[in-house]
């Protein structure tokens, strides 16, 4: 069973990893293309038309590949995680259905007009189709992120013992929870920064080759604005994400900082090396080396210099903060015990319902309701099973922050140079073309930053598929190890081929240059 769980998680992570290589570029490059066409619509100059059509072609290539990986990702909920789909399908399926019926069809319809309708529609209609395509893509992201956010913070639902599943009670609570709104904004804005970095990298390649200089400079100016706007808003919404995680997923926050014992005025680790021998119940130092910002985590998590931030041991022992006050909560050992009581009550409820014993049914129902908040903990036998992989969460979080800080400085300098000293963008220092090389290196870095962000969000939630309700061990399908391994290999090969194909087509179009790849 453990190998099936591990392989199923690995397969889903593989699919999500590949899918997320395409989605942020779609959102970031889409807004960039829409701005370019708006500029052309206002100025009606051929140079802006050439800019728009070139970048639109790259957008179209990426869009097509992203759709293919996204469809497979949604299918895996039914093939590999059918218990999860049954247990919460009424809730989780709603935003995905809306995404598929409304947003996806909206963006796909207008995508066709945007790509192939230049000569068939008026400039105003075509511009509208371009904006509606990116708006549709953004709405797609909204509903998918609503579904993901609900897994992080389940709201607007209740458990129905007659159906043996959770049912939605408040659609608007699910659709507009603070976690969902903040995650959506953070994801979309970070995609803008990725799109900007991609545009700067491709444009810098032309500067490196001494080709299409005016085209490259114009692209850098607009792409730089999109990128710097995205990174600044990403930092702002990242602060909001930290506040939400502190409220609803304190264990994730503790893992992000390798924090085992909390304190008032908790420092924020800027750089550190995690002690691999540290556990929640030994006396080892959590860090082998660290550089910290005094009281930084208290400010980040609660916007209070002296706020108490609970560590992993505090949370397990039942010490937390509610409404700014340090309080005793239910310790994990008791949560496991009460979770097992809830599961036993559910079995009793089912037996009483089948036998028609109304008194036993009422007793089981009241016991289940009293203990259901800890239902998921009943699948654990030890408290440390509820702790995520601290090292992986810590390092991915800090790598994301470090790269994000670098991207802010890089985009700011690039934008200033583009508008004030454009000749320096292609200048050489000791025969080294500094900016073009930095811009090209920044392309893989921004993708690493994005993947790290999703690793923090998803690994930090472990071992839960749905926070506090359903762990991964209870969510998987009844499939064999061989079946999962076979499909894992097939998907790995298929996605790698798709990625190579996209990169090859994009590189071919970029090498052609703007003039040759317009038609």
Tokens of 31: 């807004």
Alpha helices for 100-212 (secondary structure H): 105-116, 123-152, 171-175, 178-209
5 closest CA partner among 83, 87, 86? 83
Give helix 46-79 / helix 213-248 axis angle, nearest 10°: 30
Give 422's contacts (C-beta < 8 A, 6+ positions apart). 217
Beta bridge partners of 466: 470
Residues 199, 274 within the same domain: no
Residues 85, 234 within the same domain: yes
Stretch 262-288: mean pLDDT, rounded? 91
Return mean pLDDT, the chain.
90
Residues 115, 35 within the same domain: yes
Residues 368, 396 within the same domain: no
Given this model, what pLDDT does residue 323 score? 67
Pairing of strands 308-309, 319-322: unpaired
Q: What is the dihedral angle through the alpha carbons of 380, 384, 387, 391, rounded to the nearest 10 degrees? A: -140
DSSP-derived secondary structure for 1-48: -HHHHHHHHHHHHHHHHHHHHHHHHHHHHHHHHHHHHHHHHHH--HHH
Residues 375, 479 within the same domain: no
Backbone angles phi and psi of 119, in degrees to 5: -95, -5
Question: pLDDT tier at 366 (50, 70, 90 boundaries)?
Answer: very high
371 closest CA partner among 321, 334, 316, 331? 334
- Domain assignment of residue 135, given as a range: 2-249+388-516
What is the number of structural domains in the chain? 3
Does the pLDDT of residue 96 top 90, yes or no? no
Does the pLDDT of residue 517 top 60, yes or no? no
Does the pLDDT of residue 2 top 60, yes or no? yes
Given this model, what pLDDT does residue 193 score? 96
Residues 283, 139 within the same domain: no
pLDDT digits (tens, 9 = 90+) for 304-344: 998 899 999 999 998 877 766 777 889 999 999 999 999 99
For residue 463, whether the previous peptide bond is cis, meaning omega lies within 30 degrees of 0, is yes
Backbone angles phi and psi of 266, in degrees to 5: -70, 130
Residues 91, 235 within the same domain: yes
| pTM exceeds cut of 0.85 | yes
CB 327 within 8 A of CB 349: no
Q: DSSP code of 167?
A: E
Report how far apart, in Å, the C-alpha atoms of 32 and of each of 1, 192, 295, 305 are.
47, 8, 39, 39
Stretch 220-230: mean pLDDT, rounded? 96
Given this model, what pLDDT does residue 103 score? 67
Given this model, what pLDDT does residue 518 score? 46
Distance CA 75, CA 104 (A): 16
Residues 297, 269 within the same domain: yes
Among the three residues 281, 307, 328, which one is the final residue of a domain in this structure?
328
**Phi-psi group of 431: left, alpha or beta (phi > 0 → left; psi -120 to 50 → alpha; rest → beta):** left
Q: DSSP code of 441?
A: H
Helix/strand number for the chain, H first, E second: 16, 10
Stretch 179-183: mean pLDDT, rounded? 93
Among the three residues 314, 349, 383, which one is the final residue of a domain in this structure?
383
Residues 25, 76 within the same domain: yes
Among the three residues 328, 347, 375, which one is the final residue of a domain in this structure?
328
Residues 232, 352 within the same domain: no
- The kind and range of the H/E element at 400 are helix 390-420
Residues 218, 306 within the same domain: no
Given this model, what pLDDT does residue 156 score? 92
Does the pLDDT of residue 67 top 80, yes or no? no
Please give the distance of CA 361 from its chain centroid, rounded to a whole number: 42
Residues 465, 374 within the same domain: no
Does the pLDDT of residue 42 top 60, yes or no? yes
pLDDT digits (tens, 9 = 90+) for 448-462: 999 999 999 999 999
């Amino acid at each position: 069973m453990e190998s099936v769980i591990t392989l199923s998680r690995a397969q889903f992570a593989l699919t999500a990893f590949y899918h997320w290589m395409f989605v942020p570029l779609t959102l970031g490059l889409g807004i960039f293309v829409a701005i370019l066409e708006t500029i052309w619509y206002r100025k009606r100059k051929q140079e802006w038309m050439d800019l728009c059509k070139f970048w639109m072609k790259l957008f179209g290539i990426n869009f097509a590949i992203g759709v293919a990986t996204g469809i497979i990702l949604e299918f895996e909920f039914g093939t590999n995680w059918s218990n999860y789909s049954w247990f919460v399908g009424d809730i989780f399926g709603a935003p995905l259905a809306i995404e598929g019926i409304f947003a996806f069809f909206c963006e796909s319809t207008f995508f066709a007009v945007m790509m192939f309708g230049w000569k068939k529609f008026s400039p105003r209609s075509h511009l509208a189709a371009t904006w509606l395509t990116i708006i549709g893509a953004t709405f797609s992201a909204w509903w998918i992120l609503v579904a993901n956010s609900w897994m992080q913070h389940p709201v607007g639902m209740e458990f129905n013992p007659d159906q043996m599943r959770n049912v939605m009670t408040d659609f608007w609570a699910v659709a507009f929870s603070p976690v969902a709104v903040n995650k959506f904004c953070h994801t979309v804005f970070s995609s803008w920064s990725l799109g900007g970095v991609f545009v700067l990298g491709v444009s810098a390649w032309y500067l490196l080759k001494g080709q299409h200089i005016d085209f490259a400079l114009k692209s850098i100016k607009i792409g730089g604005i999109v990128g710097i706007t995205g990174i600044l808003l990403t930092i702002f919404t990242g602060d909001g994400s930290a506040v939400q995680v502190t409220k609803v997923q304190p264990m994730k926050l503790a893992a992000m900082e390798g924090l085992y014992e909390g304190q008032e005025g908790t420092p924020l680790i800027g750089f550190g090396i995690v002690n691999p021998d540290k556990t929640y119940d030994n006396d080892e130092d959590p860090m082998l080396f660290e550089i910290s910002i005094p009281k930084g985590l208290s400010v980040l998590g609660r916007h209070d210099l002296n706020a108490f931030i609970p560590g992993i041991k505090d949370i397990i022992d039942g010490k937390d903060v509610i409404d700014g006050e340090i309080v005793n909560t239910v310790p994990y050992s008791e949560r496991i015990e009460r979770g097992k009581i809830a599961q036993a009550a559910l079995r009793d409820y089912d037996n009483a319902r089948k036998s028609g014993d109304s008194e036993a049914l009422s007793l089981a129902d009241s016991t289940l309701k009293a203990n259901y908040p800890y239902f998921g903990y009943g699948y654990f036998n030890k408290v440390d099973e509820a702790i995520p992989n601290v090292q992986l969460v810590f390092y991915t979080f800090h790598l994301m922050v470090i790269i994000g800080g670098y991207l802010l400085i890089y985009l700011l300098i690039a934008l200033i140079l583009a508008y004030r000293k454009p000749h320096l963008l292609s200048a050489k220092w000791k025969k080294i073309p500094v900016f073009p090389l930095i811009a090209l290196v920044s392309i893989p870095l921004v993708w690493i930053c994005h993947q790290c962000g999703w690793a923090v969000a998803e690994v930090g939630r472990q071992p839960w598929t749905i926070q506090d309700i359903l762990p991964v061990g209870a969510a998987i399908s009844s499939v064999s190890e061989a079946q999962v391994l076979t499909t894992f290999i097939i998907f790995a090969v298929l996605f790698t081929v798709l990625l190579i194909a996209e990169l090859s087509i994009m590189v071919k179009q970029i090498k052609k240059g703007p003039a040759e790849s317009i038609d």
